[in-house]
DNA sequence: CAATTTACCTGGGTGC
DNA sequence: TGCACCCAGGTAAATT
C-alpha cells in the first residue's frame, strides 16, 4: 500500500519528467475512481505547464498556474512514466501526456483519486480533503508538545489517533505499528494517557521510520512501482508488522496481532508494556 | 459539539 | 473450477 514514503518516492520519481513541462493531452479511460475524475480535466490542463510537484500527507500535487491537480494513490495506485505510444494495460485509468512521454495512473482497486482544485476556489489548504489534515511529520512543528497538546481529549487508542490523520498525516497502518514499537508504546494505550517524554520518543520514531523508508525507496509490499518503471527494491525490515507469532527482533518474545477499528495491529507485549 | 465507531468502495489472494 | 470471504486507506455517515 502506498503510504507517505511511497508517495514521496513517487513524487521524486516523476518530478523530473513533469515539472516545467506542458500537458499536451489527457486521457481518462475509467472516470470512476474514489470520486469521479473531473469531466473537464482535459480542457483544464491542455496546454498548461506543471510548475512544480508537491505532497501533502498522501496527496500528490501537481501545481499549475491556475490550480492544483490532486492525485491520491489509494491502496493500490501507482504512477509510471512511459513512452507516450505505450498501449494502456488493464487498470491503467488516467494519462497525462507530456509530448513524447506519458504519466500513467494504474489503480486496480480504484480507491485512488484524481481531482482538480482551481485557483479561484481559494488556497489549496482550504480544499475539503486537505483542510482537516494534521501536521506533516517532517515539519518542525511536529514534536512532543504538538502530540501532547493535540491528544488531551483523545481517549481513543494511540494507534487509531495516529491513523486518523488529523494530528499528524502520513502514518499508515504499517509504519504506525513500526513507529509505536520503536517508541515502546503499546498500540492500545489511550492517547491522553501518554506524557510529553514518551511523545518525544514517538515523534522521533515516526520521523525515523518514514525517513528510513523514503531513503530506501519505499515498500514493495504490493503495488508500488517506481515512477521510472523499475520495481521499488526496498522492503523494510519490519520489527512487528505482519510478524504475528514470530519472535521479536529485540527480545524474542512472540509478536502479537490484534484488530483495532477493522485494522490489523502488531506489537511486542514485552517491549511495549504500556 | 467533538470524539469515536461503523460502513463503504474494489478486486487480488486464499481457502474450501 | 468456482465462489464466498477477508483485507486494505481514507472518507462520510452514524452514533456516542
A128 CA from B5 C1′ (Å): 22
CA of A85 to C1' of B6 (A): 45
The per-residue pLDDT string of chain A (274 residues; one tens digit each, 9 = 90 and over) reads 788 888 998 898 899 999 999 999 999 999 999 899 999 999 999 999 999 999 999 999 999 999 999 999 988 898 989 999 999 998 999 999 999 999 999 999 898 999 999 999 888 988 889 988 999 999 999 999 999 999 999 999 999 999 999 999 989 898 999 999 999 999 999 999 999 999 999 999 999 999 998 887 744 433 444 554 444 434 567 899 988 888 999 999 999 999 898 899 999 999 999 9
Query: How many residues make up chain A in this entry?
Result: 274
- Specify the pLDDT at position A236: 62
Instruction: Identify the pLDDT of residue A214.
Output: 87
Cell triple for A113: 483519486
Q: Would you call A198 a catalytic residue per the annotation?
A: no
Q: Considering A11, A55, A58, A226, which one is annotated as catalytic?
A: A58
Closest Cα partner for A222 from A143, A108, A87, A68? A108
pLDDT given for residue A223 in this prediction: 43
| Cell numbers standing for residue A54 | 508537491
Amino acid at each position: 500500500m502506498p503510504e507517505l514514503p511511497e508517495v514521496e518516492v513517487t513524487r521524486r520519481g516523476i518530478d523530473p519528467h513533469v515539472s516545467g513541462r506542458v500537458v499536451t493531452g489527457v486521457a481518462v479511460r475509467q472516470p470512476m475512481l474514489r470520486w469521479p475524475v473531473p469531466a473537464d480535466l482535459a480542457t483544464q490542463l491542455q496546454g498548461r505547464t506543471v510548475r512544480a510537484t508537491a505532497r501533502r500527507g498522501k496527496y500528490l500535487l501537481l501545481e499549475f498556474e491556475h490550480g492544483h491537480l490532486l492525485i491520491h494513490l489509494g491502496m493500490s495506485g501507482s504512477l509510471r512514466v512511459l513512452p507516450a505510444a505505450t498501449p494502456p494495460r488493464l487498470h491503467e485509468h488516467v494519462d497525462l501526456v507530456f509530448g513524447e512521454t506519458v504519466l500513467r495512473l494504474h489503480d486496480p482497486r480504484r480507491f485512488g483519486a484524481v481531482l482538480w482544485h482551481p485557483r479561484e476556489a481559494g488556497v489549496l489548504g482550504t480544499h475539503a480533503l486537505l483542510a482537516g489534515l494534521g501536521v506533516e511529520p517532517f515539519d518542525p512543528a511536529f514534536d512532543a508538545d504538538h502530540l501532547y497538546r493535540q491528544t488531551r481529549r483523545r481517549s481513543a487508542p494511540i494507534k487509531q489517533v495516529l491513523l486518523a490523520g488529523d494530528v499528524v498525516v502520513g502514518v499508515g497502518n504499517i509504519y504506525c505499528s513500526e513507529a509505536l514499537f520503536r517508541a515502546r508504546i503499546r498500540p492500545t494505550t489511550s492517547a491522553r494517557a501518554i506524557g510529553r517524554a514518551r511523545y518525544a520518543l514517538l515523534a522521533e520514531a515516526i520521523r525515523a521510520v518514514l525517513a528510513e523508508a523514503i531513503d530506501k525507496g519505499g515498500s514493495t509490499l504490493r503495488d508500488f512501482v517506481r515512477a521510472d518503471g523499475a520495481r521499488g527494491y526496498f522492503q523494510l525490515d519490519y520489527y512487528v508488522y505482519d510478524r504475528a507469532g514470530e519472535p521479536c527482533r529485540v527480545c524474542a518474545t512472540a509478536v502479537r496481532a490484534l484488530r483495532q477499528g477493522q485494522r490489523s495491529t502488531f506489537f511486542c507485549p514485552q517491549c511495549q508494556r504500556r
